[in-house]
Structure 1
Amino acid sequence: MTEATIGAGAFDRDTAVTAREEGVYGAELSDQWTIGNAVNGGYLLALLGRALGDVLPHPDPFTITAHYLTASRPGPATVRAATVRVGRTLSTGTASLAQADEEGREVERIRVLATYGDLAALPDDVRTSAKPPQIPPYEQCLGAKDGMDPANVPPITHQVDLRLDPATVGWAVGEPSGRGEVRGWFGLADGRDHDPLSLLLAVDALPPTAFDLGLSGWVPTVELTVHVRHRPAPGPVRVAITTRNLAGGFLEEDAEVWDSQDRLVAQSRQLARALLD
């Protein structure tokens, strides 16, 4: 198999937007990025990020915050993106995605506020106490489809190359650790290397930490904020996600994404709803 390059992979095809008029884009939400009946939130964020990159003068998302209003479904969608402010080094914009409901009425699915800049123009100094997650080598980790009934594998699983740390998958055999941790290697199935937009997918592509807390079922995202810190080096990234607090039926997930050069390239926090029994 020939590895896809940035701009020519399934991720690029399925996050494409087509300009209809100034600030208005058409999009087709692919059913290949779904879990159950819902479209993955990181995929949606990347699609909106692509539209914002077309509107704003700066190339890279620095920080992007999404509020998920209603569940998106595969099919046509309308994206609206607008500039809020343009400065010399940063620009800010807003975007939303809407779909028609069964009666043909437009329903807003997600709304985003983001600030863009140029990651290549940032200084090289790094002062951090953060350390890369300790994950076994790729070959010793478990594929997302390992042990699953082929008939029940979510479509998104075929689009990503996910290898989970065996220490964080006890929930898959009925033995969750209770620590609220999930770690693994993450890449795209067609071999496309990562860029800032695919990092928006990476922070939301692992199984939810709720599974490691002993819960099961859908964990819908309420709000997700991603900070992109560097352009990632070629190769898969390592993603570590933790939850420290589940209260009132809601939990937070904090994610770190590290590239092959041991650089922290993205961070995120999301608020999600835990559907308790």
Structure 2
Amino acid sequence: MARTAAEAQAGAARTAPATIGDSEFDRDTAVTRKEEGVYETELAAGWTVLHAVNGGYLLAVIGRALAEALPHPDPLSVSAHYLTASEPGPAVIRTQIVRTGRTLSTGQASLFQYGEDGSETERIRVLATYGDLGTLTGEVRTTALPPAMPDRDHCLGPDDSEGPIPGEAAITGRLDIKLDPATVGWVVGAPSGKGEMRGWLGLADGRDPDPLSLLLAVDALPPTSFELGLTGWTPTVELTTHVRCRPAPGPLRVALTTRNLAGGFLEEDAEVWDSADRLVAQSRQLAKAPRGA
């Protein structure tokens, strides 16, 4: 999670929409295979909150390496443990194939960074199952409903603020977020206390969503702790994401909820819906509550 109040300033002016493979997100999540199971990458400073790299962006970078290492193309279930905060700069991802089958394959991966003295630090460790979302059946039985929120034109973005929102989060320039007015009381010092956050989400350059970008989407909105009246850093401890289908083109709707904050930790459940009203991704994460909780 690792986000600050400045993330409500999400969004940059859209120009011509970027296509998948030709966007800032794709360039900044690119990996280069150095040898069997080993990939190099450059963690971009544009995806940071304060000085730490956003957890959803990290998941997408590792997800791309696993997609190259495994015989199946799409993440279905990805569980990540965040061990230490990542910094912009070079990183190495080491992957291992755990099992391969006809319809599913499982792999694990760790992302490492190196200190000036050459010491190695593991930042994040992932266990993931991949498949082919294009081969899944179309049958859906669900009681889940898209989040009840105003249309995008009636939600709030950075241009709707009377002034800059305190904090520093470079990732806000990479995203196009419009928040449900019912979940932005924290901006004016009047949080609802409900532990909810909802909003429309896209990439600032207009690139349409795909399964890999859904790994970012579950961790892209301001955290629910803001609406609990806690606006400090909220670092992720563990994040598990389920990708349910390939999203349709167009903006996503993301709904986050927290029901329990205890012992200095909170859970955050996310649902991501596409423009065709389909539930395309779900997640749950455990995060440290901001100091003062």
- TM-score above 0.5, yes or no: yes
Which among 4, 9, 13 is matched to residue 27 of structure 2? 13
- Give the corresponding residue for 1:30: 44
Q: How does 1:217-256 map to 2 (within 5 A)?
A: 217-256=232-271
Higher relative contact order (CA 8 A, sep 6+): 2
SS in structure 1 at match of 2:122: strand
What corresponds to 2:146 in structure 1? 132
Match of 2:134 among 105, 120, 128: 120
Task: Supply the distance in 2 between the matched residues of 1:196 and 1:173 (Cα, whole angstroms).
Answer: 35
Aligned equivalents of 2:291 and 2:120: distance in 1? 31
**For residues 123-165 of structure 1, what are the alpha-carbon distances to aligned partners after superposition, in whole Å with 9 as ceiling and x for unaligned?**
1110000000011111111114643528855211110100000
Gap regions ≥5 residues in structure 2 = 1-14
Indicate the SS of the match to 2:124. strand
Contact (CA 8 Å) 1:145, 1:153: kept in 2 or not?
no
Percent of pairs with identical residues:
69
Deviations 1:191-226 (A, max 9, x none): 000000000000000001011111121000000000
* Residue 74, structure 1, aligned to residue 88, structure 2: yes
**Alignment-mate amino acid for residue 44 of structure 1:** L
Cα distance, 1:103 vs structure 2 = 2.9
DSSP-derived class of the 2:145 partner: coil
Report the AA paired with residue 201 of structure 1: L
Q: Distance in 1 between matches of 2:156 and 2:290?
A: 26
Is 1:4 aligned with 2:14? no
Match of 1:192 in 2: 207
AA partner of residue 203 (structure 2):
L
| Superposed CA RMSD | 1.2
The Cα offsets for residues 37-65 of structure 1, whole Å up to 9 and x where unpaired, read as 00000000000000000010001000000
Q: Distance in 1 between matches of 2:245 and 2:95?
A: 24
Q: Secondary structure at the match of 2:41?
A: strand
- Please give the alpha-carbon distance, in whole angstroms, between the structure 1 residues aligned to 2:112 and 2:158: 31
Q: Please give the alpha-carbon distance, in whole angstroms, between the structure 1 residues aligned to 2:26 and 2:165.
A: 26
The reply to whether residue 142 of structure 1 matches residue 162 of structure 2 is no
Task: Output the CA distance in 1 between the equivalents of 2:66 and 2:94.
Answer: 9
**Structure-2 residue corresponding to 1:43:** 57
- 8 A contact 1:144–1:157 mirrored in 2: no
Aligned to 2:9: none
SS in 1 for 2:30: coil
CA deviations over 1:70-111 (Å, ceiling 9, x no partner): 000000001111110001100000001000124320100000
Alpha-carbon distance between aligned partners in 2 of 1:26 and 1:230, rounded to the nearest angstrom: 28
1:59 aligns with 2:42: no
* Residue 66 of structure 1, CA deviation: 0.3
The superposition leaves residues 229-249 of structure 1 with CA deviations (integer Å, 9 ceiling, x where unpaired) of: 010000000000000000000
Count the aligned residue pairs. Answer: 277
- Cα distance change on mapping 1:256 and 1:40 into 2, 3 Å: same
Q: If the length of structure 2 is used for normalisation, what is the TM-score?
A: 0.92
TM-fit CA distance, 1:170: 0.2
Q: Which amino acid counterpart does residue 114 of structure 1 have in structure 2?
A: A
Taking the aligned partners of 1:199 and 1:84, their CA distance within structure 2 comes to 23
Segments of 5+ residues of structure 1 without an aligned counterpart are none
Tell me how far apart the structure 1 counterparts of residues 117 and 194 of structure 2 sit (CA, whole Å).
44
**Which of 147, 152, 158 does residue 173 from structure 2 map onto?**
158
Q: What's the CA shift string for 1:167-186, capped at 9, x where partnerless?
A: 00001111111110000000
Counterpart-to-counterpart distance in 2, 1:252 and 1:145: 30
Structure 2 CA distance, aligned partners of 1:261 and 1:153?
34
